[in-house]
Structure 1
């Protein structure tokens, strides 16, 4: 039992040290960021635009609009995403951004589809305000996206 406590103490100490020495949030509370790009989904090829609002150093709320081009149907979608950004907790540099979260929205074309799911993604900032982003989504709607982000 003492070994278990020792291992937990060592892991906790290491995590705290890494968090203190590590990076900071790529978006500070109150900052915003626009994202846009293309992707792949079960519905076709989506194009998207989203807007991140940093409500905490580790949390963003993101409204997103999608247009999905399927063979003969154009789907329109809207969703709201909430993401936790892991940078500070795991201590990665601020030119990288690693996040995960959940989303709720809809897609409409031939039918009305609920878009409920989870996502995990990341960004690499090549300068102070521009980044490449990649996101993998699972659930009932939107899927993988690749795009560009701009802080302001």
Structure 2
């Protein structure tokens, strides 16, 4: 299962970087909406909010699809103990977001977005009881925002459900 996760992450990064390399030759800086500030990629990482421990996440967003639309992917992992048993959950999801900056005239040091996600969620008991091991595809929605302290670094906050194992995420974003 770990090989499948690594392969999926590498595939996602490869596809997103190939989209960027083909778009860079024809792209002018002013074709991006003001939320991206001319950056094609965002890297997001941080922690989730959960009643049973602290989940961690890593994500990559591609901003070159449309001036107001981004696509991306996330990977998260969460380990916790409950009644003396250890549990582990992970998710791999893909998302699409609409960024409201242009229509709401929000400055480019802020980013307000909402969108949908779809992905694989896996949960298992570390003792490998067959009844406690399962995975399935989930669909969900998210809403979030970013505040860029500098042109390249910002804080992010997102709420949502579906492929996430937490009701919210808080972390940092890097514009590439």
Q: State whether TM-score is above 0.5.
A: yes
Secondary structure of 1:45's counterpart equals coil
Q: Summarize the Cα distance change of 1:42–1:115 in structure 2 as closer, same or farther, 3 Å threshold.
A: farther
Q: Is the 8 A contact 1:42 1:141 kept in 2?
A: no
TM value normalised by structure 2 = 0.67
Per-residue CA distance 1:42-74 (angstroms, 9 max, x = gap): 775321000010111111101111111222112
How much does 1:115 deviate?
A: 2.7
- How far residue 77 of structure 1 moved from its aligned partner, in angstroms, is 1.1
Distance 1:74 1:65 in 2: 14
> 1:7 corresponds to which residue?
none
Q: TM-score, normalized by length of structure 1? A: 0.77
Alignment correspondent of 1:4: none
Question: When the two structures are aligned, how many residues end up with a matched partner?
Answer: 129
Consecutive unaligned residues in structure 1, runs of 5 or more: 1-23
RMSD: 1.9
- Paired with 2:94 and 2:158, the residues of 1 have a C-alpha distance of 15
Find the counterpart in structure 1 of residue 76 from structure 2: 66
| 1:41 to 1:104, Cα distance in 2 relative to 1, 3 A | farther
Aligned counterpart for 1:38 among listed residues 47, 53, 57: 47
Q: Is the 8 A contact 1:25 1:85 kept in 2?
A: no
Higher strand share: 1
Asked if structure 1 preserves the Cα contact closer than 8 Å seen for 2:37 and 2:108, the reply is: no
Q: Any stretches of 5+ residues in structure 2 without a counterpart? A: 1-32, 125-133
Aligned equivalents of 2:93, 2:52: Cα separation in 1: 15
Residue 145, structure 1, aligned to residue 169, structure 2: yes
Structure 1 consecutive aligned stretches of length 4 or more whose deviation exceeds 6 Å? none
Q: Which residue, out of 51, 56, 65, partners 2:60?
A: 51
Matches within 5 A, 1:41-120: 41=50, 44-54=53-63, 55-71=65-81, 72-110=86-124, 111-120=134-143
Distance 1:114 1:73, change over 3 A: same
Secondary structure of 1:70's aligned partner: strand
Bigger radius of gyration, 1 or 2?
Answer: 1
